[in-house]
Structure 1
Amino acid sequence: MEPHLRAKGKHFYAIGLSYKKADAELRGHFSITDEAKVNILDEAKDEGIDSLILISTCNRTELYGFAEHPFQLIKLLCEHTHGTVEEFEKVSYIYKNSIAVSHLFRVGTGLDSQILGDFEIISQIKNGFKQSKEKEMVNPFTERLVNAVIQASKRIKNETEISSGATSVSFAAVQYILARVPYVSDKNLLLFGTGKIGRNTCENLIKHTKNDHITLINRTKNKAEKIAGKFNLVVKDYANIQSEIKKSDVLIVATGAQKPTISKQLIHSDEPLLILDLSIPRNVALDVKELPNVTLVHLDDLSKMTDRTLKRRKSQIPKAEQIIEEIKEEFDAWLTTRKFAPTIKALKNKLTVLKDAEIDLQRKKIVGFNEQHADIISDRIIQKITNQFAHHLRNENASADESIEFIQKVFQLQNK
């Protein structure tokens, strides 16, 4: 696949970092704000980068684009986030051409997610694609690739059980609470913030704990009341957070702030308190661990939960990978058509001219010559020859450009 991923001296790269090597704090350094996304795309366009898609979630930050060198993309990321090049080099990955394509397929289909089979990432890819398209930063290759990844994601979701059972970190949070908080339906649960994972956790808590007195606090009370209406929660003012924490058995933090919003100074109780920090960067200061009655769990810890559900999901990986391979083959065939079609077409035309001349000659020489049969046989041989050449050109180990040049030279093809 390598040769036809090149475009005017540029290669297709995937650069980024994820939960696999970067902890929550470091991932927070490279989190891309909405404003930064716009600025990165604008600057990339000015620098002549053909196509670029940005993904920034609590678990990963990635850039997919065509560039002469991956450092062009790394520089863009570091200039528009709080992360440095030195930090990036320690935890990052850089994939090129066919390996970058394979990586996007694994990410988009949940095979690379913190919790296997978590399909929330595909919506992030769709959003990144939409934003890039609006900025005219999507080329035909990237558009076809993203659509292929979306197709693979749908098929895996529908044809395998890789997303059965727990589907996200939020569900894992609920499993953790259910396992460690006895009589949870009678406990006081406080949700601070309205981040997506926090909202999903809250919804799952209501569904699975039958707790009907969950309290929500958010800095913007209007937003809190809107969400509370949907989930039937009690809303309290942000000014009351200290007293509400004192009354709580479980505190779920999902504020989406860039700095910790909960610290030891806010906790004034000797009663056991479980704090779940579902935020990137961390929204709970680590000094809360100094309090003997407090248990702090971050979403990184939740993702490590292994249970029968995850084991069952792992058994579905081969089936998912088979689906990916099928769709990747279709994508490769499309790439081959784009790259090699003119040469294959010119070759077929040249062979057809040779065939017509030969049939015309043999018709004059051979008595009772069956022109129809000769035509059928010749056409089949021509098709087999052109198929062989097409197969050779698809072989990513071959130098496609050299092969095309060789075919054109041998058969004296004028059309390229």
Structure 2
Amino acid sequence: MILLKREQQFYAIGLSYKKADATTRGHFAISETAQAAILNGARDEGVTALTVISTCNRTELYGFAPDAITLVKILCEHTHGTIEEFLDVAYLHKGDEAIAHLFKVGTGLDSQILGDFEIIGQLKIGFKRSKKLQLINPFMERLVNAVIQASKRIKNETEISSGATSVSFAAVQYIMARVPYMSEKNILLFGTGKIGRNTCENLVKHTKNEHITLINRTKEKADKIAGKFNLLVKEYAQIESEIAQTDVLVVATGAQKPTVSKEIIHSKKPLLILDLSIPKNVSNDVEELENVTLIHLDQLSKMTDATLKRRQGYIPQAEAIIKEITDEFNAWLQTRKFAPTVKALKARLKEVQAAELENVRKKTPDFSEATATAMSDKIIQKITNQVAHHLRHANGETEESIALISTIFQLDQHNV
């Protein structure tokens, strides 16, 4: 693993659906305000580069820091969980392992639903936010762009994203499979965040239902989405009366505490509730009502239908693309490591060139300095190219070669 700064290492720390349940993930969910606080306070903790991912399925920090626990402390200071709770279910990756993890996450291979490419959008957003605050170094910029390139190629060159590609689509699949006469049922969507919007779009597209109502705490946001699909919008104050009339309630708000409990459910007819929120926005006490069936996104994501099984067949092809782009990134990284040595060598050869040209100028009448300079420039370029080629293919001995070249040519170590 190659470091941009000797006192820093590249780390990936986080938790995901694999070991952390929805409640635990909710404790470490990062709001936009918390994300800004994390980034703004990162430098004070010795973090030189940082980007953040926070979705319903994972919370992760990628960055250069003195150690992994520094990033863990920063995360826990701005969320609702403790360090002990985090470490109990977390992963801490360093160097090459951190790079490999980011490639898996960004290309959908680590998603709860295999091939879900929504995560790459979250990575792009986090990257732009960090770059705006000048918290992205050349290493991370190149790495994130490489992951974006891999994601695009996998999406275009394989069928790993065919069929359902998100929790929101899985929710609609679940509804259609379990609710008879779907087109005639009343559907209420509470919350218009990203998952809510995607669910709404999938409901309209796949159910042919004309009885979909939207409610959001901020009515203007609901109006904007409803206008796109010609749906009905009701005030937040009407949520109890709307729940009483609905057959399917989809909750996708961004609230930090439950917004739906059994106290606001007055209907006796069968009611299917899908909670797509992290943290959970539907209180568990609704299950005490005999007419209510509550499904959380964790349950939806465990669907192992034929489509998901078929996608698994494309994993080797996706991994081959990742390896190809990772190799390219590592080659670039290796070049960055020895580039200062080559630059310092070229500067030293230029010094020798200048001294020799001056000597010849003094001793040789009618000396063509332009011709001699052009010829020696070509020689310097050939020497530095040969050295760069050797260092690029040093096969694990780059450090030794750099040290030897530096000693032989007495290169300034501050420029290496």
Equivalent pair of 1:216/1:235 in contact (CA under 8 Å): yes
In structure 1, how many angstroms separate the alpha carbons of the residues matched to 2:22 and 2:137?
33
* 1:19-38 correspondence to structure 2 within 5 Å: 19-38=17-36
In structure 1, how many angstroms separate the alpha carbons of the residues matched to 2:385 and 2:335?
16
State the Cα distance separating 1:344 from its structure 2 match. Answer: 5.6
After superposition, the C-alpha distances for 1:75-100 in whole angstroms (9 at most, x for unaligned) are 11011111110111111000001110
Match of 2:285 among 284, 287, 300: 287
Structure 2 partner of 1:330: 328
Equivalent pair of 2:250/2:274 in contact (CA under 8 Å): yes
In structure 1, how many angstroms separate the alpha carbons of the residues matched to 2:388 and 2:10?
29
State the Cα distance separating 1:171 from its structure 2 match. Answer: 0.6
Q: Percent identity?
A: 68
In structure 2, how many angstroms separate the alpha carbons of the residues matched to 1:382 and 1:5?
23
Structure 2 partner of 1:163: 161
Instruction: Look up the SS of the partner of 1:219 in the other structure.
Output: coil
Q: 1:336 to 1:185 in 2, by over 3 A?
A: same
Structure 2 partner of 1:74: 72
State the Cα distance separating 1:386 from its structure 2 match. Answer: 6.4
In structure 1, how many angstroms separate the alpha carbons of the residues matched to 2:392 and 2:217?
61
In structure 2, how many angstroms separate the alpha carbons of the residues matched to 1:295 and 1:196?
24
State the Cα distance separating 1:270 from its structure 2 match. Answer: 2.2
Equivalent pair of 2:11/2:92 in contact (CA under 8 Å): yes
Between stretches 97-106 and 336-345, larger displacement belongs to 336-345
In structure 2, how many angstroms separate the alpha carbons of the residues matched to 1:382 and 1:77?
45
Equivalent pair of 2:30/2:79 in contact (CA under 8 Å): yes
In structure 2, how many angstroms separate the alpha carbons of the residues matched to 1:386 and 1:231?
59
Structure 2 partner of 1:13: 11
**In angstroms, what is the RMSD of aligned CA positions?**
2.3
- Number of matched residues? 383
State the Cα distance separating 1:242 from its structure 2 match. Answer: 1.5
* 1:164-243 correspondence to structure 2 within 5 Å: 164-243=162-241
| AA aligned opposite 1:279 | S
| AA aligned opposite 1:18 | S
Structure 1 partner of 2:394: 392
Q: 1:213 to 1:339 in 2, by over 3 A?
A: same
State the Cα distance separating 1:289 from its structure 2 match. Answer: 1.0
Equivalent pair of 2:11/2:68 in contact (CA under 8 Å): yes
| AA aligned opposite 2:337 | K
In structure 2, how many angstroms separate the alpha carbons of the residues matched to 1:46 and 1:350?
39
| AA aligned opposite 2:6 | K
Structure 1 partner of 2:124: 126
Unaligned runs of 5+ in 1: 354-378
State the Cα distance separating 1:343 from its structure 2 match. Answer: 3.8
In structure 1, how many angstroms separate the alpha carbons of the residues matched to 2:121 and 2:191?
22
After superposition, the C-alpha distances for 1:248-302 in whole angstroms (9 at most, x for unaligned) are 1111011111100100111122211110001000000001111121111011111
State the Cα distance separating 1:401 from its structure 2 match. Answer: 3.5
After superposition, the C-alpha distances for 1:98-130 in whole angstroms (9 at most, x for unaligned) are 110111111111111111111111111111111
1:304 maps onto 2:340 in alignment: no
* 1:47-66 correspondence to structure 2 within 5 Å: 47-66=45-64
| AA aligned opposite 1:278 | L
Structure 2 partner of 1:244: 242
In structure 1, how many angstroms separate the alpha carbons of the residues matched to 2:129 and 2:308?
33
In structure 1, how many angstroms separate the alpha carbons of the residues matched to 2:386 and 2:138?
30
Equivalent pair of 1:348/1:386 in contact (CA under 8 Å): no
| AA aligned opposite 1:197 | I
Q: 1:133 to 1:349 in 2, by over 3 A?
A: closer
| AA aligned opposite 1:269 | S
In structure 2, how many angstroms separate the alpha carbons of the residues matched to 1:71 and 1:16?
11
Between stretches 108-117 and 215-224, larger displacement belongs to 215-224
In structure 1, how many angstroms separate the alpha carbons of the residues matched to 2:335 and 2:409?
21
| AA aligned opposite 2:48 | D
In structure 1, how many angstroms separate the alpha carbons of the residues matched to 2:3 and 2:99?
10
State the Cα distance separating 1:48 from its structure 2 match. Answer: 3.0
Equivalent pair of 1:347/1:386 in contact (CA under 8 Å): no
| AA aligned opposite 2:118 | E
In structure 2, how many angstroms separate the alpha carbons of the residues matched to 1:13 and 1:256?
28
After superposition, the C-alpha distances for 1:34-87 in whole angstroms (9 at most, x for unaligned) are 111121112112333111111111111111111111111111101111111011
Structure 2 partner of 1:89: 87
Equivalent pair of 2:106/2:120 in contact (CA under 8 Å): yes
Equivalent pair of 2:335/2:392 in contact (CA under 8 Å): no
- Structure 1 segments, 4+ long, off by >6 Å, are 345-351, 379-386
Instruction: Look up the SS of the partner of 1:5 in the other structure.
Output: coil
| AA aligned opposite 1:163 | S
State the Cα distance separating 1:219 from its structure 2 match. Answer: 1.9
TM-score, reference length from structure 1: 0.86
| AA aligned opposite 1:208 | H
In structure 1, how many angstroms separate the alpha carbons of the residues matched to 2:184 and 2:232?
15
Structure 1 partner of 2:377: none
| AA aligned opposite 1:68 | P
State the Cα distance separating 1:382 from its structure 2 match. Answer: 11
Instruction: Look up the SS of the partner of 2:282 in the other structure.
Output: coil
Equivalent pair of 2:345/2:384 in contact (CA under 8 Å): no
1:117 maps onto 2:119 in alignment: no
Equivalent pair of 1:272/1:294 in contact (CA under 8 Å): yes
After superposition, the C-alpha distances for 1:311-365 in whole angstroms (9 at most, x for unaligned) are 12111111111111111111111111111134467789999x9xxxxxxxxxxxx
Unaligned runs of 5+ in 2: 353-380
| AA aligned opposite 2:16 | S
In structure 2, how many angstroms separate the alpha carbons of the residues matched to 1:309 and 1:55?
27
Structure 1 partner of 2:38: 40
In structure 2, how many angstroms separate the alpha carbons of the residues matched to 1:159 and 1:386?
34
Structure 1 partner of 2:315: 317
In structure 2, how many angstroms separate the alpha carbons of the residues matched to 1:220 and 1:131?
25
Structure 1 partner of 2:152: 154
Equivalent pair of 1:344/1:390 in contact (CA under 8 Å): no
